[in-house]
């Protein structure tokens, strides 16, 4: 298969532009073979932890834990943090899967549901008072719908006993959030961070840990090597319970460092510029319009368009020029396309893509 | 930290000697950024599946599934395959952790227990008739004790209703086993396969799937994205439930292909030669003896020595020559060292290591 000049598929993403260098250097330095019980590994974890805290502006009462994937973290939240009931704001495939995971774990679930492409805001009163965790998806990758953080903070005030959990899989670190106003968040490394898949990052605060401890006392089964006290204890010593993906933990630290050097504000400003340009291009094109009709809910990291006459001609025409965009997700595949707007996609690249888009009839 | 010329630590291992080339080629080909829902990914999975089947001589009624780590697979076995009771042959840290995982999942457990460095064979009658899974560890990495496969086959005949599960983490593909006489096995890629950590491989036969289905009917909670029917269904289409470690699945296929080209018998013969040489070196050295006293139980992949006067001087003297051996595991750290004898460690390298060992007083 001939490979595209550039990859705009929203995950796995094109590698961040410094990733290849770091991979080669990692192999040269023997990183894949170091012991995860060594000082060298602890230093790597420490470095990654410190760079991420800086990049995300993470409060001190948070811990950074590693898992295999965000998918796994849905499960670990259900196992560790919920005894009976979780609430879910559902408006696409990934928020749906998080809900399904809770059901698989035989939890009672409550929903605020919207059609794909829409955002239905949660309200005080949307959930029962005894809901234990309320799940939000900051950026629903399957529909290009971004959830307003102000509403998340409002719901947290309305449910002071509950934990607020935010799926930041295709949001972190680009879409800002105030971690002091939530309790738990997670992302994967193969989206905005532009790394090979194989690492999930779980951010939890002390309220989450306290809830876990209460759950544990109830005798409820809370898992094994991903039991929250076990991973949190290990993390405090910059260790993991199992042999982790050492290479990816190292690479994440390097990419986070590169992003810190660029400056998160600069990255976010670029993101806004590119996002505006992409939606403006959809507006100008007679056959395109954003899937998300309300402008304030349009994703700043995944630009999603509906295509009159179907998406195929756009995807194919761009592919012929070496520009590989994503098709719509699932049921949206025929009629929509998706363009990743991640830190690795430069302004110039997005400008070129937009120019090419406008040439297609 | 100055890096050793060569790494004999039994995991994470030194990379297989072709791994670096495959990593660079993978990055060049854009493998880390391909979609796990693409034809290209299915072809990669297909290739890895086919090479592993060949290498391990896997019967057709087995499926090859991917997880994040062998540690995770302990958990998934407990979740999917056991309703009430599992049996465990325990003689070191890893067999102990597998047992602990079953206990964490609130299962009843039965044990055949030996001290570290020993092997206690299971007997017909060691476990209750209603035991559902019996766990063996083919190579206990923490003690260098290898379990005789003939006994595993015997126990399977004595417990025809039970599933036989074998931890092959530091055994596959070097230590042979007849998969027709077991039901479930698993390994990680960072031992004998010489790849970066971050992928576990789970081999299950149709009996295991049948047991899962029975368990599911009982209404027992069997997990979410790693529910066995879900991953097995995906695997049949060369897919995974979540975004997997695509890079490692690709690399595993390449390494397995290289090993097939070398020939598994040649690899095993080399392994035996190196193993004999290592234990012979321990015998010759006045201050060394194998930890495992009974020759027939000495590991063919991890050579473990007890050192009169402590292990430190051996580890340090060799490190100064750029030869990095492993310390003893856990409580054995002060008095023992471990030498990985994996396919990436050539005869010449092991010969050199043994010569250097004999120079140390």
HEC states along B170-233?
CCCCCCCCCHHHCCEEEEECCCCCCCCCCCEEEEEEHHHHHHHHHHHHCCCCCCCCCCHHHHHH
Contact B245 A24 (CB under 8 A): no
- In this prediction the ipTM stands at 0.91
**Which residues partner with A204 through β-bridges?**
A63, A184
Using a CB–CB cutoff of 8 Å, tell me whether B68 touches chain A: yes
Query: Which residues, 6+ apart, have CB-to-CB distance to B87 below 8 Å?
Result: B109, B110, B111, B112, B122, B126, B127, B128, B131, B133, B134, B135, B162
**Residue A73, pLDDT score:** 97
Q: Do the domain assignments include residue B345?
A: yes
Contact B33 A12 (CB under 8 A): yes
Residues B191 and B288 both lie in one domain = no
Distance CA A198, CA B68 (A): 8
Q: Do the domain assignments include residue B69?
A: yes
Contact B197 A246 (CB under 8 A): yes
A23 contact residues in B (CB cutoff 8 A): 23, 27
Q: Which two tokens stand for residue B166?
A: 């074998």
Angle at A256 between CA A254 and CA A257, to 5 degrees: 65
Using a CB–CB cutoff of 8 Å, tell me whether A198 touches chain B: yes
Q: What are the average pLDDT values for consecutive 10-residue runs of chain A, which has 361 residues? A: 75 92 95 93 98 98 97 96 97 97 96 97 97 98 98 98 98 98 97 96 98 90 86 96 95 98 97 98 97 97 98 97 95 97 97 97 92
Contact A24 B24 (CB under 8 A): yes
Query: Which residues, 6+ apart, have CB-to-CB distance to A12 below 8 Å?
Result: A190, A196, A197, B32, B33, B34, B35, B36, B243, B246
Q: Which two tokens stand for residue A70?
A: 């965000």
- Judged on CB neighbours under 10 Å (0-12, 13-18, 19+), B106 is exposed
Residues A189 and A330 both lie in one domain = no
Using a CB–CB cutoff of 8 Å, tell me whether B239 touches chain A: no
Angle at A60 between CA A55 and CA A64, to 5 degrees: 65
Task: Give the alpha-carbon dihedral of A250, A251, A257, A258, to 10 degrees.
Answer: 160
Distance CA B64, CA A248 (A): 24
Contact A243 B68 (CB under 8 A): no
Angle at A13 between CA A9 and CA A15, to 5 degrees: 135
Q: Which two tokens stand for residue A335?
A: 């009629």
Contact B104 A245 (CB under 8 A): no
Least CB–CB distance from B15: residue in A12, A32, A241: A32
Using a CB–CB cutoff of 8 Å, tell me whether B227 touches chain A: yes
Residues B256 and B278 both lie in one domain = no
Domain boundary among B209, B242, B261: B261
Contact B221 A106 (CB under 8 A): yes
Residues A192 and A290 both lie in one domain = no
Q: Which residue has the tokens 């397995």?
A: B256
Distance CA A53, CA A61 (A): 11
**Residue A134, pLDDT score:** 98
Residues B293 and B223 both lie in one domain = no
Using a CB–CB cutoff of 8 Å, tell me whether A227 touches chain B: yes
How far A29 CA sits from the closest chain B CA (Å)? 8
A&B contacts, CB < 8 Å: 163
Of A75-79, B105-109, B217-221, the range with the lowest mean pLDDT is B217-221
Name the band, by pLDDT with cuts 50, 70 and 90, for residue B2.
low
Name which of B133, B139, B46 is nearest B81 in CA terms. B133
Using a CB–CB cutoff of 8 Å, tell me whether B323 touches chain A: no
**Residue B221, pLDDT score:** 74
Residues B347 and B327 both lie in one domain = yes
Q: Do the domain assignments include residue B120?
A: yes
Distance CA B299, CA A234 (A): 30
Q: Do the domain assignments include residue A1?
A: no
Chain A: residue whose CA lies nearest to B196: A32
Percent of chain B with pLDDT over 90: 96
Least CB–CB distance from B13: residue in A19, A33, A246: A33
A249 contact residues in B (CB cutoff 8 A): none
Residues A166 and A297 both lie in one domain = no
Cα Rg, chain B, nearest whole Å: 20
Using a CB–CB cutoff of 8 Å, tell me whether B184 touches chain A: no
Mean pLDDT rounded to a whole number for chain B? 96
Q: Mutating which of A243, A323, A325, A333 best tests the B interface, going by the most B Cβ atoms within 10 A?
A: A243
Contact B224 A195 (CB under 8 A): no
Least CB–CB distance from B32: residue in A9, A104, A196: A196
Query: How many Cα atoms sit within 13 Å of B223 on the Cβ side?
Result: 27
A226 within 8 A of A79, measured Cβ to Cβ: yes
Q: Is the dihedral of CA B173, B177, B179, B185 positive or negative?
A: negative
Q: Do the domain assignments include residue B268?
A: yes
Domain boundary among A207, A228, A261: A261
Q: Do the domain assignments include residue A327?
A: yes
List C-alpha distances in Å: B162 to A13, A349, B176. 44, 59, 22
Residues B83 and B219 both lie in one domain = yes
Distance CA B322, CA B92 (A): 29
Name which of B70, B78, B64 is nearest B171 in CA terms. B70
Distance CA A336, CA A333 (A): 6
**Which residues partner with B26 through β-bridges?**
none
Core vs surface per residue A327-346: b (16+ CB within 10 A) or e: bbbeebbebbbbbbbbbbbe
- Domain of A303: which CATH number? 3.90.1150.10
> What are residue A183's phi and psi, to 5 degrees?
-125, -20
B33 contact residues in A (CB cutoff 8 A): 7, 9, 12-15, 196
Cα Rg, chain A, nearest whole Å: 20
B20 contact residues in A (CB cutoff 8 A): 27
Q: Report helix, strand or coil for A323.
A: strand
- Judged on CB neighbours under 10 Å (0-12, 13-18, 19+), A158 is middle
Q: Which two tokens stand for residue B167?
A: 């931890």
Three-state SS across A24-54? HHHHHHCHHHCCCCCHHHHHHHHHHHHHHHH
Using a CB–CB cutoff of 8 Å, tell me whether A199 touches chain B: yes
Using a CB–CB cutoff of 8 Å, tell me whether B69 touches chain A: yes
Distance CA B165, CA B188 (A): 15
A69 contact residues in B (CB cutoff 8 A): 68, 242-244
- Summarised one tens digit per residue, pLDDT across range B17-73 is 999 999 999 999 999 999 999 999 999 999 999 999 999 999 999 999 999 999 999
**Residue A2, pLDDT score:** 52
Chain B: residue whose CA lies nearest to A12: B33
β-pairing, B163-167 with B184-188? parallel
Chain A: residue whose CA lies nearest to B28: A20
Contact A32 B9 (CB under 8 A): no
Q: Strands across the sheet with B163-167, in order?
A: B62-67, B200-205, B184-188, B163-167, B133-137, B85-90, B108-113
Residue B120: Cβ within 10 Å count: 15
A14 contact residues in B (CB cutoff 8 A): 33
How far A158 CA sits from the closest chain B CA (Å)? 30
Name the band, by pLDDT with cuts 50, 70 and 90, for residue B4.
low
Q: Which two tokens stand for residue A171?
A: 């949001």
Residues A257 and A267 both lie in one domain = no
Element (H, E) at B11: none
A105 contact residues in B (CB cutoff 8 A): 221, 224
Contact A72 B74 (CB under 8 A): no
B9 within 8 A of B326, measured Cβ to Cβ: yes
Q: Which two tokens stand for residue A288?
A: 């395109």
Distance CA A136, CA B174 (A): 47
Distance CA A31, CA B198 (A): 13
Distance CA B224, CA A186 (A): 18
Q: Do the domain assignments include residue A33?
A: yes
Q: Which two tokens stand for residue B276?
A: 């004999």
Least CB–CB distance from B190: residue in A68, A190, A243: A243
How far B63 CA sits from the closest chain A CA (Å)? 22
Domain boundary among A215, A239, A261: A261
**A263 phi-psi bin (left φ>0, alpha ψ -120 to 50, beta other):** left
Distance CA A156, CA A164 (A): 6
B24 contact residues in A (CB cutoff 8 A): 24, 27
- Summarised one tens digit per residue, pLDDT across range B280-319 is 999 999 999 999 999 999 999 999 999 999 999 999 999 9
Residues B223 and B140 both lie in one domain = yes
Residue B197: Cβ within 10 Å count: 29
Using a CB–CB cutoff of 8 Å, tell me whether A9 touches chain B: yes
**Residue B330, pLDDT score:** 95
Contact A246 B74 (CB under 8 A): no
Using a CB–CB cutoff of 8 Å, tell me whether A27 touches chain B: yes
Residues A156 and A105 both lie in one domain = yes
Using a CB–CB cutoff of 8 Å, tell me whether B199 touches chain A: yes
Using a CB–CB cutoff of 8 Å, tell me whether B269 touches chain A: no
Contact A15 B32 (CB under 8 A): yes
Q: Do the domain assignments include residue B1?
A: no
Name the band, by pLDDT with cuts 50, 70 and 90, for residue B234.
very high
Domain residue limits at A327: 6-15+263-359
Q: In total, how many domains does chain A have?
A: 2
pLDDT above 60 for B1: no
Least CB–CB distance from B247: residue in A31, A198, A242: A198
Name the band, by pLDDT with cuts 50, 70 and 90, for residue B342.
very high
Name which of B23, B79, B37 is nearest B202 in CA terms. B79
Residues A255 and A144 both lie in one domain = yes
- Domain of B180: which CATH number? 3.40.640.10
């Amino acid at each position: 298969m001939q490979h595209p000049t550039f990859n705009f598929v929203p995950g796995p993403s094109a590698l961040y532009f410094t990733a290849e260098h770091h991979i080669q250097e990692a192999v040269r330095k023997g990183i894949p073979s170091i012991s995860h019980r060594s000082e060298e590994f602890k230093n790597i974890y420490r470095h990654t932890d410190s760079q991420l805290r800086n990049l995300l502006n993470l409060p001190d009462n948070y811990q950074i834990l590693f898992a295999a994937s965000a998918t796994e973290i849905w499960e670990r939240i259900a196992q560790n943090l919920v005894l009976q009931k979780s609430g879910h704001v559902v408006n696409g495939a990934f928020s749906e899967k998080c809900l399904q995971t809770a059901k698989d774990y035989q939890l009672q679930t409550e929903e605020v549901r919207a059609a794909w492409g829409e955002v239905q805001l949660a309200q005080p009163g949307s959930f029962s008072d005894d809901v234990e965790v309320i799940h939000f998806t900051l950026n629903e990758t399957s529909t290009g719908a971004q959830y307003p953080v102000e509403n998340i903070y409002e719901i947290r005030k309305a449910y002071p006993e509950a934990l607020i959990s935010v799926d930041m899989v295709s949001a972190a670190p680009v879409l800002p959030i105030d971690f002091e106003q939530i309790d738990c968040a997670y992302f994967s490394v193969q989206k905005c961070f532009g790394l090979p898949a194989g690492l999930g990052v779980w951010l939890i605060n002390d309220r989450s840990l306290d809830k876990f401890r209460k759950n544990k006392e109830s005798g409820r089964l809370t898992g094994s090597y991903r039991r929250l006290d076990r991973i949190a204890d290990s993390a405090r010593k910059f260790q993991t319970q199992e042999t982790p993906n050492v290479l990816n933990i190292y690479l994440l630290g390097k990419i986070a460092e590169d992003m810190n050097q660029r400056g998160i504000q600069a990255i976010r400003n670029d993101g806004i510029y590119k996002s505006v340009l992409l939606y403006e291009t959809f507006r100008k094109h007679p056959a395109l319009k954003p899937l998300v009709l309300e402008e304030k809910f349009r994703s700043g990291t995944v630009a999603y368009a509906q295509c009159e006459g179907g998406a195929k001609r756009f995807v194919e025409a761009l592919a012929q020029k070496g520009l590989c965009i994503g098709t719509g997700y699932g049921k949206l595949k025929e009629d929509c396309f998706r363009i990743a707007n991640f830190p690795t996609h430069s302004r110039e690249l997005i400008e070129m893509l937009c120019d090419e888009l406008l040439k297609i009839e």
